Amino acid sequence: MDMDQLKRQAAARALEHVRDGMKLGLGTGSTAKHFVELLGEKVAGGMKVVGVPTSEATRAQAEACRIPLTTLDAIDRLDLTVDGADELDPALNLIKGGGGALLREKIVAAASDRMIVIADDTKWVDVLGRFPLPVEVIPFGLAATQRAMATAFAQSGVSGQMGLRKGRDGHVFVTDGGHWIVDAHLGRITDAPHLAGLLSLIPGVVEHGLFIGLASIAVLAGAQGIRVVERR
Ligand SMILES: O=C[C@H](O)[C@H](O)[C@H](O)COP(=O)(O)O
């Protein structure tokens, strides 16, 4: 079974948690894309749900699938968000933002009663950090922000190269919110909650890709089948 089939399996399992009438956060990325597609089939079959997309890409896909959409301004809370991740650890802390959607993803996840993470099992790690940590920043004062980030890394016992993300066209990658992304190659983030707190204090940092305490369930698809992990 190839990676894409595993992602679809995880998405299909998460879909079992969706009930008629739910308000859903719709994630971004190649795994969440399967969930949106499968949800679209349910909606075509008569299921009544409403979704809040976490990116313009997901909005376009959800609209094409005819999934009714709303905004966080129009509703109070979401029942459930289903989203992918770049890495997840045994505490169900995550690294997200490989696709650049981390800011809206975190706003939506934080407004949800539950978040289910769907992934192939290669994303599971003992310690976060093998995947470069995306940090969404304001373009103004980039060098000062990166210096403050380096200090936060040192205070958290990590270090590594930082790189401004470029798009496929070679230009600086710009997020849906009009910001830039610095990818930090840290290797092992031994205290992710501590680093998350420090990064959140930096004025030029809009948001970072550490999702601490937001995911309630992970659905991991691998060659041996599906493993469901619940946050303790
Ligand atoms: O910004 C992108 C998101 O955080 C994605 O959920 C994450 O990068 C995982 O994407 P994929 O399912 O394509 O590996």
Tell whether 82 and 46 lie within a shared domain.
yes
Catalytic residue among 16, 41, 56, 105: 105
User: What's the pLDDT at 232?
Assistant: 83
**Residue 211 near residue 85, CB atoms below 8 Å:** yes
Which residues, listed in sequence order, are joined to residue 202 by a DSSP beta bridge?
none
Which ligand 1 atom sits closest to the C-alpha of 100? 1
Ligand 1 centroid from CA 55, angstroms: 11
**CATH number assigned to the domain comprising residue 65:** 3.40.50.1360
ipTM above 0.95, yes or no: yes
Judgement on whether residues 106 and 145 belong to the same structural domain of the protein:
no
Helices 32-44 and 3-15 cross at an angle (nearest 10°) of 50
- Angle made by CA atoms 79, 81, 84, in degrees to the nearest 5: 165
In 3D space, the residue among 123, 121, 118, 124 whose CA is nearest the CA of residue 38 turns out to be 118
83 labelled binding-site residue: yes
Same domain, residue pair 119 and 9: yes
pTM beyond 0.95, yes or no? yes
Same domain, 95 and 155: no
Structure confidence at residue 23 (pLDDT): 98
Q: Are residues 120 and 42 in the same domain?
A: yes
Could you tell me if 42 and 156 lie in one domain? no
Q: CB within 6 Å of ligand 1 — which residues?
A: 27-32, 83-86, 96-102, 105
* CATH number of the domain enclosing 192: 3.30.70.260
- Closest ligand 1 atom to Cα of 123: 14
163 is in an annotated binding site: no
Asked whether residue 8 falls in the same domain as residue 72, the answer is yes
Q: Please tell me whether residues 34 and 144 are part of one structural domain.
A: no
For atom 12 of ligand 1, which residue has the closest CA? 31
pLDDT at 223: 93
- pLDDT tens digit at each of 232 positions of the chain: 799 999 999 999 999 999 999 999 999 999 999 999 999 999 999 999 999 999 999 999 999 999 999 999 999 999 999 999 999 999 999 999 999 999 999 999 999 999 999 999 999 999 999 999 999 999 999 999 999 999 999 999 999 999 999 999 999 999 999 999 999 999 999 999 999 999 999 999 999 999 999 999 999 999 999 999 999 8
**Interval between CA 145 and ligand 1 midpoint (Å):** 24
119 Cα nearest atom in ligand 1? 12
Q: Which domain holds residue 37?
A: 3-124+213-230
The reported pLDDT for the residue numbered 1 is 75
- Residue 131 contacts residue 87 (beta carbons within 8 Å): yes
Same domain, 37 and 85: yes
> What sign has the CA pseudo-torsion 177, 182, 188, 191?
negative
117 and 218 together in one domain: yes
Amino acid identity of 49?
V
Choose the residue to mutate in 4, 6, 31 for probing ligand 1, maximizing ligand atoms within 8 Å of C-beta.
Answer: 31
Split into its structural domains, the chain has a count of 2
CA 10-65-9 angle, to 5 degrees, is 10
Residue 163 and residue 148 share a domain = yes
